[in-house]
Structure formats: C-alpha cells, structure tokens
Amino acid sequence: MLARRVAKRFLGRALFSSQKEQGLEQKGVELLTPGISRMSNMVAQRAQGSWLWTVDGTKYLDFTCGIGVTNTGHCHPHVTKAVQEQVGRLVHAQVNICLHEPMIQLAERLQTLTPPSLDTFFFWNSGSEAVEASVKLARQATGRPNIIAVQGGFHGRTFGAMALTTSKNVYRAGFSPLMGGVFVTPFPYARQLPASLTSEQARVDFCLEQLEQLLKQQTAPHETAAVILEPVLGEGGYVVPPAAYLKGVKEICSKHGILLICDEVQSGFGRTGKMFAVEHFGLVPDIMVMAKGLASGFPLSGIVSRRDLMAKQTPGSMGGTYAGNAVSCAAALATLDVFEKEKLLENAIARGSQITSRLKKLQAEGLPIGDVRGLGLMIGLEFDDSVPSGFAGQVSKLCRENGMLILTTSIFETLRLIPPLNVTSQEVDTGLSILEQAIRQAQQQ
C-alpha cells in the first residue's frame, strides 16, 4: 500500500514536471524569435561537469559543451566561487572609464600563454565582436580595406563577421548587401575541392596557388589588410589543415605585408589539446581572436596582437559598454587556474585519443563512417556517401532520445564531439556507446 502511494506520488510529480516543461517550451517558442535555430526545445534547469538536467529531471550527457564553451565543465566549483566573490566586490567597471584588477590580471596571465610576440590585448563580449575587432585593427594598422577569408570558415553572425562566414549560407542569406571588401579563397578540405586533387600535397598546392591568383586578379596586395582563418576549421566541418598549408599562407602574407588573423574562438583554450591550436603548427599570427572557452560560460572575448600594431589605433576607436566585464574576467582567471591544477590539456589529449580509437574501430567494423578527424577534444565524425541526407541530424536526435547531446556541423553529414576537457574515461565510454547505438538505429530507419 505504501509502495503504491509512493509510486503514485512520484508519477504525479513526473507528470507535473512534464507538463511544466511543455508549458515552458511553449512559452519559449511563442516569446523568442524563430530566427534562433535550436537542436531542441527542452528547457535546461541545471548542469554539473559533463551532465545537464532539464526542468522535468531528465539527465543528459553533454557532448556539446555549449558549442565548445564550458571547457572546464558546467559550473566548475572553483570558477563558481571566483564569480560569486567577484559579484560581491565589483560587477561592472566600464572599460572606457577605468581599469579594473581582474582585467589587468587576466592580460598578465594570458601574456604568458600566447605566442611571445603577441603581447597587447583588447577584451570584448562575444566571438563575433572580437572577430570584428580584429578586422578593425587590421584595417587601421595597414591602411588597407580588403580582407580574405577561407571557404567553409565560420566567424560569427553579426554584420561584419557574417560577411566573413562561408560555412553555410543560412548565416548569410537574406542580409545582403554584406560588408564589402571581403574575398574568399579555397581551404584544403577534400570535400570542397576538385576530386582530381587526390593527394594532400596537391590540395595544399592548389589552395596556395588560388590565394596567389586571388591577389593578382581580385584584391591587390596593397589593398589587402589581412587573411583570416581558423587554424582548425570549426563550423565548416572540424577539418585540420596540413601544416604546409598554414606555413604557405603565412609566407604569402609576409611577402605582401598582409596580416594573418587566426580565429581561435572555437579551437582555443585547450580544445585541441594545446592552449591554442596554432601551437600544433608552430604558427604565429599577427592577430589572434579568442572567446568561447576563455571564461567557462561567461561572456568574454578578446584579441591579442603586437604592440606596434595596436599602437596604430586611435584612442576611442575601440571599446564597448560591457567590454572586459569584471565578473567575466574573474571567471577567466579561475578557468586558467583549473587548467593548471587539473591538467586539462593532458586529459583532452588522452580522451581525444580514446574517442578517435573507438570511432575508427567502429569504422573498421562496417559502420558508415567516412572520416574521423580532429585534435584533442575537437573531433569530427563524417559519415560516408552511403548515408541519406539528414543522417547526421537523425543520429543527433537519437542520441538525445538516449540521453546524450551531440551536434552536427558543416554542410556534409558530420557530427562534432566536443565534451568538457575534464570529461572522464567512463563518461567517454558511455557517450560512445550511446553514439554507436544511435548510428545503428539510424541505419535501420
């Protein structure tokens, strides 16, 4: 009798929670713009580490990481404590009015982590804003108007950043005319290049030749301020370029006095197993863009460059109401503490190897996996040509139904695996089992 009453009470709570979530979902759909594309309409209530719970109590293993943001896991206790303490001291100190300690301390800490020649910072809020700040700096420092972006790159959805983004036309369609002075050059991703380019070297040579040709036909070097690229293609498919390609781009830029901007918004702060992805290639850009994993979920972005370039900016030409917010800077400082204390870079490499090994084993067993690629915990899984259109999205949906969140990426049938950098071996095993089950289910549908 008691068990029946407890069961009835539990079922009643579950029904109430389900109704509550459905009600909140409906309100969200009604009140928020349809212009926001969502993987689901579920309503998140709390999260901890690699796990997220909705308002109805459903628990999910989170392999999305807020799209590569919560690199220290959700609500890391050290970051949470630092934020709570900072809120009690100072929330907002406007950057055009005064300095504040967390921002100065953050610049000092980051200066020890970025390439030695990059020593001067500007902090802003979002990745898109930081990308636009990098373009402003490049144009001011060189006196040149044009920017070259690479095919498949993603740099944001604000107006200027959107003009540089070519990963999907959904981010650009309907907003023309976009910011002018933008030109696009090929990137060495085999799916985007002629099939006749069968070797890596052939693809590299082709892309570098096309860049040189672009500078002869469309944007003269003396009118080209910068080339902007992601050292690992993000939204475009999680594609790691050959080191020879990045070296070649840098050499072309140096030859013509063109600045190289590396967008590390998604690849930075340990995502690839190094603090910044450029370290894998020995590449030193002129300007580097950062955001996402910088502050464990608090809005903070920035650019870093050489002092001689930054010195060419007119006082007042940079700034923003919330730029370098004190609470976000405190979160970033605590995030860097966690990297050191918990050896997140080492864990990213180990867990990344665990994921790629298991996925390649599944590929060898006959699952329709065409390619497994990436660095650290920035891993792309591209399905082969045997799968129908929408297959990756279906796998993502089935994973969610089985208790894990995972995102698609690129215009091809690709998933991206981006769990927190402190994800455990057991959590990785759990996630990969769910993923394998979802792929097999999708094959049967």
Q: How far apart are CA 214 and CA 128, in angstroms?
A: 25
Largest Cα separation within the chain, whole Å, is 85
Instruction: For residue 44, give the 3-state DSSP assignment.
Output: strand
Residues of the chain with CATH 3.40.640.10: 90-342
| Cα separation, 288 vs 394, whole angstroms | 36
Query: Comparing C-alpha atoms, which of 155, 140, 149 is closest to residue 249?
Result: 149
What CATH number was assigned to the domain covering residues 90-342?
3.40.640.10
pLDDT per residue rounded down to tens, the chain (445 residues): 434 443 444 344 444 456 777 888 888 888 888 888 888 889 999 999 999 999 999 999 999 999 999 999 999 999 999 999 999 999 999 999 999 999 999 999 999 999 989 999 999 999 999 999 999 999 999 999 999 999 999 999 999 999 999 999 999 999 999 999 999 999 999 999 999 999 999 999 999 999 999 999 999 999 999 999 999 999 999 999 999 999 999 999 999 999 999 999 999 999 999 999 999 999 999 999 999 999 999 999 999 999 999 999 999 999 999 999 999 999 999 999 999 999 999 999 999 999 999 999 999 999 999 999 999 999 999 999 999 999 999 999 999 999 999 999 999 999 999 999 999 999 999 999 999 999 999 999 8
E-assigned strands of 276-401? 287-290, 301-305, 369-375, 378-383
Here the tokens at position 52 are 């997220």
Instruction: Spell out the alpha helix ranges (H) of 32-98.
Output: 65-68, 77-87
pTM of the model: 0.94
Q: What interhelical angle do 425-444 and 391-401 show, nearest 10?
A: 120
3-class DSSP assignment, residue 416: strand
- Kindly list the distances between the CA atom of residue 182 and the CA atoms of 16, 60, 365, in Å, as whole numbers in the listed order: 53, 41, 45
List of E strands, 170-245: 182-185, 224-229
Residue span(s) of the chain under CATH 3.90.1150.10 come to 17-75+343-444
- State how far the Cα of 230 lies from the Cα of 154, in Å rounded to an integer: 8
- Architecture category of domain 17-75+343-444 in CATH: Alpha-Beta Complex (3.90)
Residues in Cβ contact with 315 at an 8 Å cutoff, skipping those fewer than 6 apart: none
φ/ψ (deg, to 5) at 329: -65, -40
Cα angle 295-298-302, degrees, rounded to a multiple of 5:
60
Q: Which residues contact 107 (CB under 8 A, 6 or more apart)?
A: 121, 123
Token digits for 191?
């799916």
Distance CA 30, CA 43 (A): 14
Report the distance separating Cα 232 and Cα 247, nearest Å.
14
- Rg of the chain on CA atoms, in Å: 23
